[in-house]
Structure formats: C-alpha cells, structure tokens
Amino acid sequence: MDLELRHLKTIRTIADAGSLTKAAAQLGLAQPALSAQLKRIERTLGGKLFERGRYGVRPTALGEFVLERARVVLPAISELQQEAVRFGSAGSRMTGFRLGGTHGPLLGGLVDRLATAHPGVPVTTFTTWSEREIAAAVAAGRLDFALIGACGEAPAPEPERLSWREIAVDPVFVMLADSHPLAGRREIGLAELATEAWADVPGDGCFADCFTLACARAGFTPARVYETDTASCIHLVQVSRAAGLCRATLPPTPGMVTRPLAGTPLTWRHLVGWHPATPAANSAPEVVAQARAAHADAAARSESYTRWLADHRTAADPGPPGTGGGPLPDSARPRAAAHPDHPDSGRPQAIGHPEADPGPPEDTGYPKADPGPSEDIGYPGLPRGIHNIPQKDN
C-alpha cells in the first residue's frame, strides 16, 4: 500500500484527538474501521505510530517523526489546491464582480453603483455574519472582494494573504424607541443606559468584548444581551424591550431613533479587501472609490449622523458643501488600514483622497466609469457583532 494524503490526515486527526474513539467520530468512521486503517498505515511505514493506553493514545518516536512531516506537507498541499483553484477560476480578466459582505446598506449601495457603472456585467453577492468566512472565500478565489467591518483598531482577517483598504470609520450610535425618555436628547452618555437590556446580532470579531469594556469604563455591566437577527433587534428596540447599537449610517426607521454616544466610546471601520495576485487587484481602485461613494450616500440619508458631523466640525474648516463644517476630532477621523501591500499603509488619510487609492487603475476589461463623489466628507463605521441595520438593499 502506498502512503496517501488521506493517511497523513488520519494520523494527524488521531494525534490531535488523543484517542481512537474521538478521532473516529471526527472522521465519520467506526472505531474498528479506523483501527484497521491505522494498522495498515503502520505496516506501510514500518512501525507503530501510537502507543495505546487507558487514557488514549500518544505518538511513538516514529509517530512524532511522521507527524512533524505531515504538519508541513498537509498545509502546503491545501495552499497549493487553493492557489490552483484561484488561478484556474480567475483567468487573466474579471468576468464580473463577486462581492462578499456582512449585512448592511453599504453592500447594497456598492452593488447598485457597480451595476450602474457596468451594465451587463454580473454583480453577485454572498452575505454572512462572519468576516473571517468572507475573507477566507476571497483568499481561496471564491469571491473577488470582501466588504466587511472591524471594531476600532482590530486587524482585518487574512492579513498575510489579502490587501485591505479602509473605506470609512463611523461612530457607533445607540438605537432607542421613539418613546424612550432619552430619545429627545442630542447625544447620550453610555452610563445613562446602565439599566437597559441590549440587542445585537452574531459576529466573530471583538465588538462584544469592546462593548463590554466600554460599559465597564462607564461604570456598569450590561444586565442582559439579546443576540438575534437584525429584524428582531429592530423590533426589540421599537417595543422598548432593549436598546441597540448601530452604524451611524442607519437609515430612518419608524418607531425608533438613533443617537450618538457621548465621547464616541466605540467606532467601526469599513474595509474592502482583495487578493493582490488576482485580476481583482486591477479593479480595486474603482471598487474602493465606489464603496466610499456608497458610504457617503448612506451617511447623507441619516439625519442624526448629519447632525453629529455638523456638531463635530469647526468653523475654521467648513468642509465640502453639504457636510456641515470642518475637520472631525482625531478619534473619529479615518485612518489607513495597515497592510504591507500598500506603501502608504499606516498614514492618516482622508476618505477619497487620491493618496488613499490603491494605485492607478489598470485595464479591467470594463469601460471606465465615474465612481461618483469621493471628497473628504470626514465620515468616521459600525461595530462588529452589532449590524442592526435593515437589509432591504442587500
């Protein structure tokens, strides 16, 4: 019998599980079948790979030798397969835009802008609560672009394989029923909401931890958190069962209001990512510009965000028309997403500033289109785990 990759996977699974019973369950085999397979592998390799005892199994010296090689070979083969799939499916030109995003209006706005700019070119979407799942799909070549968010300064997923560009940084707002005693306030201190229950949605980032820490700094621990879908979060707020957290770009919703948190204790960064070795890299400048324009559109539709922007600007710098004034505080200004693929990584940058673009656009095979306004609108994005936004345009 020749040694095959599946045999190495079996050996690794047994070692990681620490027992044949657990390994058999993970591999979907009956334990006697796994034991028989292990004996055949051991005969092929010329010795016992595991010592069996009352507390499970542990590798022999030969087993450790084989495991050391397997833990190098298996990831290398997996990476080879992913690269081959990406190379084979990508070709030399993009034939459409395959977008992956978490739930929110920014994805819908980007789809609309790309479809308008490239009539007849397919624009497809994949949505999930997991930023990691989206990033992994881009890295594997199943998607062209990831449109995700990150809490505060948290790094984007797959930083070694994907290029990331920051679209905007938004303050986190609170959602309250329009009958709430604090609904008429211009902004609300987090400590004033210490007795509230909270509603949020699932996520795999650090926002839940950041929210808990912000509450601790405000002097309280959240009494109750309802983790549920977006529509249910909105409903719980509307019926005064809970307060919610949202992007500042949340559009007006009947029965509730959005208000900024005093001092901006939480921020959310919007990011676009792509694999630099695929044709998507050629289209990245336009996708980034279109995403920024979609964010500007969403921000302009939010009365509470527009008012917040006006409050946080200064008369010294009136800013672009319609944005309400001068520069934002440093804590709320956009920053460059740190990534080694970008020479300007780490420097402060304005939304839509030419220096923020990921290089000059190359020929993508599509007609050039005006990506729309991309001036510095000063928009700071939303928390992870808290995508409480109507999804009509996803």
Residue 200: pLDDT band (50, 70, 90) is confident
Residue 208: pLDDT band (50, 70, 90) is confident
CATH of the domain at 65: 1.10.10.10
In a domain, 138, yes or no: yes
In the chain, the N- to C-terminal Cα span, in Å, equals 52
Task: List alpha helices for the chain, DSSP H.
Answer: 5-17, 20-27, 31-45, 61-90, 105-117, 131-139, 207-217, 230-238, 280-300, 303-311
272 and 352 in a single domain? The answer is: yes
pLDDT averaged over the chain?
Answer: 79
In a domain, 30, yes or no: yes
145 and 31 in a single domain? The answer is: no
SS3 labels along 186-214: CCECHHHHCCCCEEECCCCCCHHHHHHHH
In a domain, 178, yes or no: no
144 and 286 in a single domain? The answer is: yes
Q: State which of 90, 125, 156 marks the end of a domain.
A: 90
- The residue ranking higher by pLDDT, 88 or 386, is 88
116 and 84 in a single domain? The answer is: no
In a domain, 362, yes or no: no
Q: Kindly report, residue by residue over 361-385, the tens digit of the pLDDT.
A: 334 343 343 434 333 333 333 333 3
50 and 111 in a single domain? The answer is: no
Measure Cα distances from 332 to 172, 267, 318, 356, 380 in Å: 10, 8, 17, 17, 5
Q: Kindly report, residue by residue over 22-70, the tens digit of the pLDDT.
A: 999 999 889 899 999 999 999 999 999 999 888 889 999 999 999 999 9
How much is the pLDDT for 366?
A: 39
Using DSSP, state whether 290 is helix, strand or coil: helix
CATH of the domain at 145: 3.40.190.10
274 and 346 in a single domain? The answer is: yes
The total number of structural domains in the chain stands at: 2
How much is the pLDDT for 296?
A: 93
18 and 148 in a single domain? The answer is: no
pLDDT > 90: what percent of the chain?
A: 53
Measure Cα distances from 372 to 7, 51, 375, 394 in Å: 55, 66, 9, 20
The answer, yes or no, to whether residue 347 has pLDDT greater than 70, is no
Q: Is the dihedral of CA 9, 10, 14, 17 positive or negative?
A: positive
In a domain, 185, yes or no: no
Q: Which residues make Cβ contacts (< 8 Å) with residue 196, sequence separation at least 6?
A: 222, 223, 242, 243
- In the chain, the amino acid numbered 255 is G
287 and 149 in a single domain? The answer is: yes
14 and 85 in a single domain? The answer is: yes
Domain that holds residue 18: 5-90
105 and 86 in a single domain? The answer is: no
Token digits of residue 97: 């835009």
On whether the pTM is more than 0.75, the answer is no
| Cβ neighbourhood burial of 372 (10 Å; 0-12, 13-18, 19+) | middle
Q: How far is 77 from 226, CA to CA, in rounded Å?
A: 42
286 and 143 in a single domain? The answer is: yes
161 and 273 in a single domain? The answer is: yes
In a domain, 243, yes or no: no
* Integer Rg of the chain from CA: 25
Q: Read out DSSP for 116-159?
A: HHSTTS-EEEEE-S-HHHHHHHHHTTS-SEEEEEEETTPPPSST
In a domain, 330, yes or no: no
Token digits of residue 201: 């949605």
- In the chain, the amino acid numbered 161 is R
In a domain, 64, yes or no: yes
